[in-house]
Amino acid sequence: MLDRWTWQMAWRDSKGSRRRLLLFLSAMVVGVAALVAILSFGHSLERSIDEDAGSLLGADLRISSSRAFSPALESMIDSLGGVQARRVSFVASAQFSAQQPVQTVRVRAMDAGFPLYGRIIASPPEAEEKMRAGQGVLVAQSGISVARVQPGDSVTIKGRRFEVAGILIGARVENAVEMLYQPPVYMALADLDTLDGRVGTYEVFLRFDREVDTAALQSAIEEAHDVGVRTLADVKEDWDFLLEGLEAFLGLIGFFALILGGLGVGSVLQVYLKERKDTVAVLRCVGASSGRATRIYLAQSIGMGVLVGLAACAVGTLGQVIMPLGINDLLPVDMHYRVAPEGLFAGFGLGVGATVVFSLVPLSGLGAIPPLAALRSAYGRQRFRKSRLAVYALVGLGIGLCAWVQVGHIGVAILYALAMGVAFGILSLTAWAFIRMLRAVAPRIRTYTWRQGLANMHRPNNQTLLMVVALGLGTVMIMTVVLVEGAIVEKFANLNFEAEEIPDAVLFLVDAEKPEDITSMIAAHDIRILQTDILMPVSVDSIYGRSRMSDEDSTGSDRIGFDWVGGATFADHRTDSVLVEEGTLVREWQDSTQVAPVAIHAYAAREALQVAVGDTLLLRVLDRQVLTRVGSIYAGPVLGRGMATMILPQGILESLPHTRVLSLKAADPQSLAVFHGAFMDQFPDYPIINVPLVLRVVQEVFRRLNYMHRFMSLFSVITGILVLAGAVMVSRRARIEQAVLLKTLGASKRQVLSIMCVEFLFLGLLATGTGLGLAMVAAWVLTGFQLEIAFIVPKVPIVLAATALVGITLGVGLLNSRGIYARPPLEVLRTEV
């Protein structure tokens, strides 16, 4: 029990060491602050979205359809009452000037009441009024493919020339990522009648001045009419899902910083409590039990944890403001930063809990100090006690729980905890083996400074193990993320859009009435068809005779796991390159009386459906059921432009309606832009994807998200440097004694500094080399097995990282050792340092 006497003794015992302990605890403060910043940012953004969800949707309820509303639907909309606004959207080509290439834009034709929540921001301010009066259009310049236009310029859309009344600065109803791909052009709804061709999406927005059960209304409308309905709850749910993924990713980086800080706390307390051995022995002599003596230092750990929690809450709250600066234009709302009580409580609890958990290992050794140690410093040799295994297990459990909180999946959390344990074990084993090797090799080195510097790494009170583990673990954590990020960036950067295997556009022909008109148009614009894929939607009705259930079966058990929907294609000549892992891939099937074999991609077979070769599946393709058996399981990329996970033999479903996916190759970017715009003008119902533009948008979004990743990585870097500084400082006393002894024997200042340089240089090389090796293994596993992309060792980042880490180790070591040579020998010999 932590009584008053225990707290008083803990306070008195800390005299003379408080500044040093506070400096060492700064590493834990930075680690916990990273998580507080993430939690506070997440809560602030979530609350901002909840407050401004109406402006994100533009109304309380939105009804949309790909065709004009029927009279029955119009009657229902009129009966709903409230304030209503209309909008019609379609994709079209836009020619801003004769010198500029044709661009693809999303035209938004709206009435005077849109949006019902929020507002449109334009430059100049009067441009919005001119647009609504039919005196021009607003053009967004947030897209990466749109020409830079100015008010007064002109743009041609569907054969009509419009004046650019102003620039669209922002509108919350627009998705920031979609604006990068297809920038919106705003016009008055009355201008829509003057344009040629069909249009795309009809929308009506409703705002209610009374309490309305929008969820029930949504269900009623969707059941009665073939339309899409969105509510504020749908908007919040979508953003909550994205926020969970972002917080989980950033939380793992903060988790790395927390583990580094915990390692620093544990190592510092290990040395600190070792210095308190005599104090514990004296307390034992005057009648204190081992448990009572241990509780004194447990109270100190709790007190330090409270300080860590308070400081981390302050730093983390400030960090939430700086963290999203690089992606502000991607956020759906204007951030209203505020103190999040949930984040503060979590940070405070995490600071106290993590500090105490990581101090358990050094605290567990206090109980083994006997009273006679106060009289004979060499009395008794501490042995490893089995009870300490429980302490190690408790620390591992704490790490696993922290990872679980961050990723939200217990299996992934266990993998991260095990990976952390493996990295810790390999680094410790490497340091131990290096120390053993130095004991045999160092005495044989002839150069005096090299021999002394290497000998320092295995002498008593050395910090080789601690510094190698701290620096190496930080290297593993930071460089793994950097290498994976580099592999993804390299994959995009190395894409050669002129290569034959990379299409410029992908065109989806869903039940095309006159496909010959489309193919003629493709040929007229000098566009080549690289390949044609057949794609059909397929679902699984039953496996082994079990029917698919929507929620629960008749016994109330959980939903059956094969409630799955995917895509299927037909076997053709390209299946020769498919890697069949099990069974035999059948390309043709003529016997309609027998069960047809189907090939399933390995991921769908083993993860989603959990089936093996020979299992029976009842598939549903459109409205037709097909009884099949798993004939083979294949790996590698899926066919049908990456959307089909099943390959059916030819001769089964060719007669059913299907989607033809055309991969197109243009002679040059201008031809592609002209064709894209002309095709959307003439065939607006058929989706077409501009592949290079999509990839550039992904690159742009990835580049902006990189800011947050690098900001969070900065926490880990700072934590690693603080841990490294702490590891050097705890051995400062031994270094002072060594420097004084060498000075007494006649060593010059230059020789003493050379000895320290050799020691820190090899510490940096050992930790960096081991850490980078583990980081490359981890990155290879993640890229090859999780992301399924090629891992390329980036030589320049590796060299720069190694040089920086070794330089940091050498610099921190020499900085913390400054002034040692100037200490007079008598001061060191007569007083306690």
Mean pLDDT score, 807-818: 79
C-alpha 4/C-alpha 368 separation (Å) is: 24
Q: Which of 62-76, 253-267, 601-615 has the highest mean pLDDT?
A: 62-76
Q: What is the pLDDT of residue 205?
A: 92
- pLDDT tens, position by position, 773-806: 888 888 888 777 666 677 777 777 788 888 888 8
- pLDDT tens, position by position, 370-395: 776 655 654 445 555 666 677 778 87
- pLDDT tens, position by position, 678-736: 787 777 667 777 777 777 776 666 666 666 666 666 766 777 677 767 666 666 666 77
Mean pLDDT score, 561-586: 70
Q: Answer with the residue of higher pLDDT: 436 or 93.
A: 436
Q: What is the pLDDT of residue 137?
A: 92
Confidence of residue 186 (pLDDT cuts 50, 70, 90): very high
C-alpha 782/C-alpha 789 separation (Å) is: 9
Q: Answer with the residue of higher pLDDT: 253 or 130.
A: 130
Residue 240: name the closest of 413, 50, 35 by CA.
Answer: 50
- pLDDT tens, position by position, 327-386: 666 666 666 666 777 778 877 888 888 888 888 878 877 767 777 665 565 444 555 566
For residue 426, pLDDT beyond 80: yes
Torsion of CA 169, 171, 176, 181, to 10 degrees: -70
- pLDDT tens, position by position, 653-663: 666 667 777 88
Angle, CA of 287, 288 and 292, to the nearest 5°: 165
Q: Answer with the residue of higher pLDDT: 118 or 143.
A: 118
pLDDT over 70 for what percent of the chain?
A: 76
Which token pair is 630? 């798993």
C-alpha 92/C-alpha 679 separation (Å) is: 9
What residues does each domain of the chain span?
Answer: 1-57+232-385, 61-211, 429-498+692-833, 527-666
- β-partners of residue 630 are 598
C-alpha 542/C-alpha 616 separation (Å) is: 8
**How many other C-beta atoms can be found within 10 angstroms of the C-beta atom of residue 146?**
21
Which token pair is 725? 């500084």
Among the residue ranges 155-169, 305-319, 775-789, the one predicted with the least confidence is 775-789
- β-partners of residue 36 are none
Confidence of residue 556 (pLDDT cuts 50, 70, 90): very low
Contact 755, 734 (CB under 8 A): no
C-alpha 579/C-alpha 586 separation (Å) is: 13
C-alpha 369/C-alpha 286 separation (Å) is: 14
- pLDDT tens, position by position, 229-240: 988 888 888 777
For 494, 522, 692, 778, the CA distances from 499, given in Å and listed in that order, are: 11, 19, 12, 31
Q: What is the pLDDT of residue 498?
A: 57
For residue 463, pLDDT beyond 60: yes
DSSP 498-534: TSTTS-SEEEEEES-S-HHHHHHHHHHTTEEEEEEEE
For 45, 142, 163, 318, 703, the CA distances from 175, given in Å and listed in that order, are: 16, 11, 25, 28, 18
Q: What is the pLDDT of residue 643?
A: 58
**How many other C-beta atoms can be found within 10 angstroms of the C-beta atom of residue 329?**
11
For residue 281, pLDDT beyond 70: yes
Q: What contacts 21, CB < 8 A, 6 or more positions away? A: 14, 268, 272, 304
Q: What is the pLDDT of residue 805?
A: 82
* DSSP code for 135: S
Among the residue ranges 168-172, 242-246, 669-673, the one predicted with the least confidence is 242-246
Q: What is the pLDDT of residue 120?
A: 87
**How many other C-beta atoms can be found within 10 angstroms of the C-beta atom of residue 113?**
15
**How many other C-beta atoms can be found within 10 angstroms of the C-beta atom of residue 236?**
16
Contact 543, 562 (CB under 8 A): yes
- pLDDT tens, position by position, 714-730: 766 777 677 767 666 66
Which token pair is 626? 């097909």
Q: Give the SS3 label for residue 174.
A: coil
- pLDDT tens, position by position, 484-508: 777 766 666 665 555 556 788 888 7
Q: Strands, E, within 16-126: which ranges?
A: 61-65, 83-95, 103-110, 120-123
For 93, 165, 680, the CA distances from 156, given in Å and listed in that order, are: 8, 14, 14
For residue 50, pLDDT beyond 70: yes
C-alpha 613/C-alpha 585 separation (Å) is: 11
Q: Give the SS3 label for residue 242.
A: helix
Q: What is the pLDDT of residue 505?
A: 83
pLDDT over 90 for what percent of the chain?
A: 3
Its pTM surpasses 0.85:
no
Average pLDDT, the chain: 77
Residue 771: name the closest of 468, 466, 416 by CA.
Answer: 468
| 642 Rama sector, left if φ>0, alpha if ψ -120 to 50, beta otherwise | left
Q: Strands, E, within 519-670: which ranges?
A: 527-543, 546-547, 565-570, 579-583, 596-601, 616-621, 624-635, 646-648, 659-666
Confidence of residue 113 (pLDDT cuts 50, 70, 90): confident
Mean pLDDT score, 109-119: 88
Q: What is the identity of the amino acid at 178? A: E
Q: What is the pLDDT of residue 85?
A: 92
**How many other C-beta atoms can be found within 10 angstroms of the C-beta atom of residue 474?**
25
- Helix boundaries (H) for 442-463: 448-455
What are the two backbone dihedrals, phi and then psi, of residue 749, each rounded to the nearest 5 degrees?
-60, -40
Q: What contacts 701, CB < 8 A, 6 or more positions away? A: 177, 180, 330
